[in-house]
Structure 1
Amino acid sequence: MTSAAIRHEAGPPDIAAIAEQAIARIAQRNPALNAVIRHDPDAVRAEAVRLQRAHAAGRPMPLYGQAFTVKDNLWVAGETISQGSRLFRDFTAPEDAWAVARLRQAGALYLGITNCSEFACKGVTVNLLHGMTRHPQDADLTPGGSSGGAAAALAAGIGDLALATDAGGSARRPAAHCGLVGFKPSAGRIPLGPGFAEPVFGNGVIAPMARDMAALRQAFVVLAAFDPRDPASCPPPPALTSGQMRIAFSPTFGLDAAMDGSVRDGIAAAVDALRAAGFSIAAATPAWPDGLGEAGFMPLQHAGLAALYGERHRREPELFDPDLSRQIEAGLALQGSDVAAVLLLREATAQALARFFGDFDLLLGPTVPCIAWPATQLGPARIGGRPAAPRDHAVFTPMFNHAGVPAISVPCGRDAAGLPFGLQIVARRFADDLLLDFAARAETIFAERGLWTGVTS
């Protein structure tokens, strides 16, 4: 039973019961997961009382009865927010991030902080400060990263929504690995900040996660707004309509990427189900620029980490995750022309997608090329029978961050062991509502055909 399902007969949600259920759920599931790293039961109960009084006073609360968690790189006033880093182990957020405040104003019940990798810059969720987060189906596996704590908690029935971030797939990939919906909106649709400096310049967005499309769309309606304090924030765009939607499917997004057979076949089956439901889907791939891929984009993250934390790393390298140390050192070795080359690649990527979306409304493909892997590894040792580099699991998501376009992962299948994966749906910039409409229709179609594999706990 989800939190919002607890209601009085013919009345509003029982927020006190929702709070107690969430507290009990965290006590039951979190010790094995290490997904929620900060949680105060008494504060949750006090927040429930405050919301109940405000609701009784007639304040509009579209999310009243929903409970949510917040990733450990987003500010929550008065909370220790660490970005999974020993550097910030004693940092207390002076105010709520805009998105956190917005959910609270809408009546959602704040539950606690979820774990993330250090500076949200790894594809698994482990750090020196809070340790490792485990997959809710199998404790030997990772839920992915960097929003693995958010995904693991939500998949384990902790809360109805998870407020996460996505700078290269950090919400979409864990959502795919855990059977959830993970949404990266267009850059600027949800205000970002106030909060920490962003290591990957211009890539990070607020990314809500949910168990189903109804909950996610409800959250996006609340979160999507203009705020002048965020220089990237934009006013709501005009509604985009499309008669016969022009949809493309690219099995690997045109990249030379290995895929597990179960994922490849499952994605193809999901696309076949959409075709059988009446959608015309063509085979097409964007004409990507040379050099597109993780290796081409990662220097920007390395440079950002070096600029933010390089001096501290020189003085106290023991404070950093060894993998983050390698990234910082790589960033310190870069030249200005190296960074400029990535910015030019980013611009060429955005232009390639803009041209593609002149011919199509939506692009379908995989979110991840593999299912979840052992939690002690940066990535799977092999994908599709081929030896895999540590970031090969992340191949299908970063280019859409660099282009600023919206992308969503929806559950569409499981492998023979029951581990989920997701279909990624991408649209042109600011076509978020069109994207969400189609994702909701896909959810219904997949459910009718037994392909919707989202969690139900």
Structure 2
Amino acid sequence: MTKPVISAREIAADVTAGRTSAVGTARAALARIEAAKSLNAVVTIDPSRTLADAAAVDDRLRAGEAMPLAGVPIVVKDNIWTGGWRVTQGSRLFADFVAPQDAIAIERLRKAGAVVVGIGATSEFASKGVTTSPLFGPTRHPLDPALTPGGSSGGPAVAVAAGLVPLAIGTDAGGSSRRPPAHVGVAGFKPSYGAIPYGPGFAEPFFGLSVIAPIATDVADIALAFKTMAGADRRDPDSASIAQETSDVAGLRIAFSPRLGLDVVVDDAVANGLVSAVERLSAAGLHIMRNEPVWPAGVTEDAIMPLQHAGLAALYGEPFRKDPTVFDPDIAKQIERGLSWSGAEVAGALLASTAIAKTFAAFFGEIDLLLTPTVPCVAWPLTQFGPDMIGGKAVSPRAHAVFTPFVNHARLPAISIPCGTDRCGLPFGLQIIAARGQDLTLLEAAQEIEAILRT
């Protein structure tokens, strides 16, 4: 795994100062993508379009325009509209779809000088915890091609981890842009719901949950991308302005929960690595207590999954009835389940989602930040939907995803940063969660925590 020698910030500074050009930077990124085709991280390229966009950035610079992301090459997940590009959601139904316009977030990134160099792989409809699709097949882990990077933003995460680009844009409706970064050793940020406008784009199966999520090699690049994309826009009625204040990290009330208050298993390497990280943070002067949410009876990931199944069924039930084989077999199963759920069962899932949000709201009345694992395990074989064992116990295929979905249902900001590796050198992450709207405070704290853990 070869990470970029310079950050997005440094690329923008070099391009702005004329030490290099946006076109030269784009050519170099395209060459890296070509050399790493076996990873299957970037599933669509359009070199002529990329180089034309890069040339336009160079022209804008010569005209005196200031751009905070001048010439920065980015990869965009294959479910986010990127105008003029093929964007498929990893689905045969959209194999030839060309986005008619940019999503607002991509529009803002391009205005800031970013150059799209490719479209990053996703699972079909971003609805699976590994990155494989009927159109493009599996995306491979950059440290071991026999392993998966997880999903569904595996393509963008691998593009960053393998050094193809310094910055990628994913989506996150249940952990899709936190778990893959944790598995490959980079940072991934899920903003507060509405902090970055969502769409225009595909109809979304995740009701009020999915967000645009930047992935990068460090938190500072994530913060730069977030500030570029964030802010209300009338085209998205759910978008909202965010709090501009940040807080002194030393004064924050920080809690550590090794299992997020859930009855779940965690690999020893991850559990011990998190404890060690918290000890280092405490030794550096952060005030960290042991505390965790107490969830209402019956509130589990199983209780909220009908929302995903029903959303997929509402959007794709008709083509499923005509030909189920068009879909990824696991997505077909989810659609079939969605068609079987009663209205009362879907309403029950909405009630469970509301209970999660209220529980987190009460919890963040007493603390400012919550530290948890991002994932309970490291990456697993490419051919499996999930690991067979975690913490020495046989587990269900979704057991790898337990620490992220509740955050989406509470619409909170959360970031995963690298925290350590197991004895085979496979990474895992530390998840940092904050109250809704406290995105900038979270990013400020994450930068300090990242600096401590890197020393």
The TM-score range, normalised by the shorter chain, is: over 0.9
Shift of residue 62, structure 1, vs aligned partner: 0.7
Q: Which moved more, 1:71-80 or 1:395-404?
A: 71-80
Residue 26 of structure 2 corresponds to residue 19 of structure 1: yes
Task: Give, as a single letter, the amino acid of the residue that structure 2 aligns with 1:165.
Answer: T
Shift of residue 293, structure 1, vs aligned partner: 2.5
In structure 2, the residue corresponding to 1:443 is in which secondary structure? Answer: helix
Q: Report 1:81-92 matches (<5 A).
A: 81-92=87-98
> Counterpart in 1 of 2:175?
169
Identity %: 54
CA contact (8 A) 1:3 1:18 kept: no
CA contact (8 A) 2:149 2:184 kept: yes
Q: Report 1:361-400 matches (<5 A).
A: 361-400=368-407
> Counterpart in 2 of 1:283?
290
In structure 2, the residue corresponding to 1:209 is in which secondary structure? Answer: strand
CA contact (8 A) 2:188 2:215 kept: yes
Counting matched residue pairs gives: 447
> Counterpart in 1 of 2:201?
195
1:65 to 71, 79, 89: 71
In structure 1, the residue corresponding to 2:51 is in which secondary structure? Answer: helix
Going from structure 1 to structure 2, the CA distance change for 1:362 and 1:3 (only over 3 Å counts) comes to closer
1:133 to 124, 128, 139: 139
> Counterpart in 1 of 2:237?
231
CA deviation vs aligned residue, 1:55-101 (integer Å, no higher than 9, x gap): 11122201113211100000011111110000111211110111111
> Counterpart in 2 of 1:319?
326
CA contact (8 A) 1:70 1:162 kept: yes
Residue 162 of structure 2 corresponds to residue 160 of structure 1: no
In structure 1, the residue corresponding to 2:189 is in which secondary structure? Answer: strand
Shift of residue 239, structure 1, vs aligned partner: 2.1
CA contact (8 A) 2:386 2:400 kept: yes
CA contact (8 A) 2:243 2:440 kept: no
Q: What is the alpha-carbon distance in structure 1 between the residues aligned to residue 41 and residue 431 of structure 2?
A: 24
CA contact (8 A) 1:171 1:183 kept: yes
Shift of residue 3, structure 1, vs aligned partner: 6.7
Shift of residue 2, structure 1, vs aligned partner: 3.4
Residue 191 of structure 2 corresponds to residue 215 of structure 1: no
Q: Runs of at least 4 residues of structure 1 off by over 6 A?
A: none
CA contact (8 A) 1:98 1:193 kept: yes
Shift of residue 44, structure 1, vs aligned partner: 1.8
> Counterpart in 2 of 1:430?
437
Shift of residue 160, structure 1, vs aligned partner: 1.4
Q: What is the alpha-carbon distance in structure 2 between the residues aligned to residue 199 and residue 344 of structure 1?
A: 18
Going from structure 1 to structure 2, the CA distance change for 1:13 and 1:361 (only over 3 Å counts) comes to farther
Q: What is the alpha-carbon distance in structure 2 between the residues aligned to residue 98 and residue 338 of structure 1?
A: 34
Shift of residue 16, structure 1, vs aligned partner: 2.4
In structure 1, the residue corresponding to 2:418 is in which secondary structure? Answer: strand
What is the alpha-carbon root mean square deviation over aligned residues?
Answer: 1.4
CA contact (8 A) 1:69 1:112 kept: yes
CA deviation vs aligned residue, 1:328-348 (integer Å, no higher than 9, x gap): 111111001111111111111
CA contact (8 A) 1:120 1:147 kept: yes
Residue 106 of structure 2 corresponds to residue 100 of structure 1: yes
> Counterpart in 1 of 2:41?
35
> Counterpart in 2 of 1:2?
6
Going from structure 1 to structure 2, the CA distance change for 1:357 and 1:321 (only over 3 Å counts) comes to same
Q: What is the alpha-carbon distance in structure 2 between the residues aligned to residue 423 and residue 166 of structure 1?
A: 17
In structure 2, the residue corresponding to 1:168 is in which secondary structure? Answer: coil
CA contact (8 A) 2:76 2:169 kept: yes
CA contact (8 A) 1:116 1:148 kept: yes
Shift of residue 234, structure 1, vs aligned partner: 0.7
Q: What is the alpha-carbon distance in structure 2 between the residues aligned to residue 90 and residue 330 of structure 1?
A: 28
Q: What is the alpha-carbon distance in structure 1 between the residues aligned to residue 302 and residue 356 of structure 2?
A: 14
Q: What is the alpha-carbon distance in structure 1 between the residues aligned to residue 300 and residue 278 of structure 2?
A: 24
TM-score (normalizing by structure 2) = 0.96
> Counterpart in 2 of 1:118?
124
> Counterpart in 2 of 1:451?
none
CA contact (8 A) 1:180 1:210 kept: yes
Going from structure 1 to structure 2, the CA distance change for 1:33 and 1:227 (only over 3 Å counts) comes to same
Q: Report 1:395-434 matches (<5 A).
A: 395-434=402-441
CA contact (8 A) 1:248 1:284 kept: yes
> Counterpart in 2 of 1:336?
343
Task: Give, as a single letter, the amino acid of the residue that structure 1 aligns with 2:94.
Answer: F
CA contact (8 A) 1:3 1:21 kept: no
Task: Give, as a single letter, the amino acid of the residue that structure 2 aligns with 1:385.
Answer: G
Q: What is the alpha-carbon distance in structure 1 between the residues aligned to residue 336 and residue 113 of structure 2?
A: 44
Q: Report 1:142-157 matches (<5 A).
A: 142-157=148-163
Q: Which moved more, 1:78-87 or 1:366-375?
A: 78-87
Shift of residue 14, structure 1, vs aligned partner: 2.4
Shift of residue 11, structure 1, vs aligned partner: 4.0
Task: Give, as a single letter, the amino acid of the residue that structure 1 aligns with 2:411.
Answer: G
Q: What is the alpha-carbon distance in structure 2 between the residues aligned to residue 327 and residue 417 of structure 1?
A: 34
